[in-house]
């Protein structure tokens, strides 16, 4: 927490500087003549992953915070609903969906009454629903701003998925809406609640590898054939520039929380292959170099078009190396510390606790006014950096922050 608040002023400076770079995706071509998924909340079929529980969760503990889950996609059904059900101080109180059949099935599986099912059209009546304290916004990124604002207007707190929004300006609007309503805003950066990443942060603070020289991150995979008509992740109005916001944001975050610093400059290159329907509107790959005040340098790559897929964070210091691979997934993490030629494998806990712990943290913020570890300002910080990265690539030069 201290680390975050400490550098908050710098985020704001960075944000207003990069706001000037409004057309940050100008170099990203748009698809012509294709019927892209619209940038409005609509019903979608069952996602291709995510399971429902065999039996509804037991009754919530006294004082538990009730969440409405907004957006019943893969992550909503696969991770968010189970996380809320597994939390000690939170529970699923409602669902918001544009697909009535899907909503009904999910609600039944979680033991919710029919009047706890909301559509995007009748969402505003949630204002009168005392069972719902907060909304967990799991919609595509391009809908985060609008539906977070609507949730605050309905008097609810908001836990919003990453990336926070499509631009720093949108993040600022979300923070302003939170402040105006007096309700909490948290960004669902789950790695801040995950034992491997928490231990890695601690090790770096303790100087486990000595003075940090380089950080390398890679968040890559190869996306199967798709187009703007089928997949919001390749629609610019819903996904921004693509892999950096979606996956590379984990590498960006790792570089910041492992170095404990904010960069002084970024230099980036984007790739957008021609004649590939996956990349008609978004980038395929973003490669970034960030320089830190200490002299440390981070090299980050993120891609939707690279095999083998990687999820790496590696810190090399004068006195050792920390290797995390996979670094930021849902599970299966591996982490080693190499010092004096000796490799030590570390298993600080079960990564699976990250989901419920994060939801419980939001509950503590709501019930006990606990300081939020991953507030809207952190989402804004990251979005401002992402804008600087795109601006560097578009202008073909290093951007000083």
Would you please indicate which residues are annotated as catalytic (active-site) residues? 162, 250
Residue nearest ligand NAD by beta-carbon distance:
73
Q: Minimum distance between the CB of residue 343 and ligand NAD, rounded to whole angstroms?
A: 29
Rank residues 38 and 396 by Cβ distance to ligand NAD and give the closer one: 38
Rank residues 190 and 291 by Cβ distance to ligand NAD and give the closer one: 190
For the chain, the first-to-last Cα distance in angstroms comes to: 23
Q: Tell me which DSSP letter residue 28 carries.
A: S
Rank residues 232 and 292 by Cβ distance to ligand NAD and give the closer one: 232
Q: Minimum distance between the CB of residue 270 and ligand NAD, rounded to whole angstroms?
A: 19
389 vs 215, 257, 318, CA distance in Å? 17, 18, 28
- What the block records as the tokens of 191 is 């790695």
Instruction: Give me the DSSP letters along 55-120.
Output: SPPPPPPTTPEEEEEE--SHHIIIIIHHHHHH-SSEEEEEEE-S-HHHHHHHHHHTT--GGGEE-S
- What the block records as the tokens of 299 is 């090299």
Q: Minimum distance between the CB of residue 143 and ligand NAD, rounded to whole angstroms?
A: 6
392: CB partners within 8 A, 6+ apart:
266, 267, 268, 288, 398, 399
Q: Minimum distance between the CB of residue 165 and ligand NAD, rounded to whole angstroms?
A: 10
Centre a 10 Å sphere on the Cβ of residue 384 and count the other Cβ atoms it contains.
26
How many Å apart are CA 82 and CA 387, to the nearest integer?
33
Rank residues 353 and 394 by Cβ distance to ligand NAD and give the closer one: 353
Rank residues 56 and 98 by Cβ distance to ligand NAD and give the closer one: 98
Contact 30, 98 (CB under 8 A): no
Query: Which residues contact ligand NAD by CB under 6 A?
Result: 37-38, 40-42, 44, 47, 71-76, 97-98, 138-141, 143, 161-162, 188, 190, 232, 246
């Amino acid at each position: 927490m201290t680390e975050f608040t400490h550098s908050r002023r710098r985020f704001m400076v960075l944000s207003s500087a990069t706001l000037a770079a409004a057309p940050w995706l100008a170099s990203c071509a748009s698809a012509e003549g294709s019927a892209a998924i619209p940038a409005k909340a609509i019903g979608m079929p069952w996602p291709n992953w995510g399971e429902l529980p065999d039996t509804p969760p037991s009754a919530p503990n006294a004082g538990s915070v009730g969440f409405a889950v907004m957006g019943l996609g893969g992550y909503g059904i696969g991770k968010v609903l189970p996380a809320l059900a597994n939390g000690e101080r939170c529970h699923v109180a409602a669902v918001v969906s544009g697909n009535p059949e899907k909503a009904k099935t999910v609600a039944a599986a979680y033991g919710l009454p029919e009047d706890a099912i909301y559509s995007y059209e009748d969402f505003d009546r949630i204002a009168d629903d005392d069972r719902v304290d907060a909304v967990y916004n799991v919609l595509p990124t391009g809908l985060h701003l609008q539906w977070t604002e609507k949730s605050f207007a309905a008097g609810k707190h908001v836990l919003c998925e990453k990336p926070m929004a499509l631009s720093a300006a949108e993040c600022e609007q979300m923070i302003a809406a939170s402040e105006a309503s007096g309700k909490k805003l948290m960004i669902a950066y789950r790695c801040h609640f995950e034992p491997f990443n928490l231990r890695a942060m601690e090790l770096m603070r303790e100087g486990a590898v000595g003075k940090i020289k380089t950080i390398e991150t890679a968040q890559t995979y190869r996306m199967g054939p798709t187009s703007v008509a089928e997949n919001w992740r390749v629609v610019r109005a819903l996904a921004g520039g693509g892999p950096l916001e979606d996956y590379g944001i984990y590498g960006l975050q790792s570089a910041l929380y492992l170095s404990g610093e904010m960069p002084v400059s970024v230099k980036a290159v984007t790739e957008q292959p021609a004649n590939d329907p996956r990349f008609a509107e978004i980038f395929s790959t973003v490669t970034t170099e960030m320089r830190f005040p200490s002299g440390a340098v981070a090299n980050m790559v993120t891609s939707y078009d690279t095999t083998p897929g990687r999820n790496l964070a590696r810190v090399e210091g004068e006195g050792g190396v920390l290797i995390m691979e996979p670094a930021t997934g849902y599970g299966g993490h591996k982490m080693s510390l190499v010092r004096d030629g000796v490799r030590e494998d570390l298993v600080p806990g079960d990564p699976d606790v990250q989901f419920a712990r994060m939801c419980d943290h939001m509950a503590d913020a709501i019930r006990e006014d606990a300081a939020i570890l991953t507030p809207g300002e952190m989402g804004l910080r990251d979005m401002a950096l992402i804008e600087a990265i795109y601006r560097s690539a578009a202008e073909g030069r290093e951007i000083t922050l």
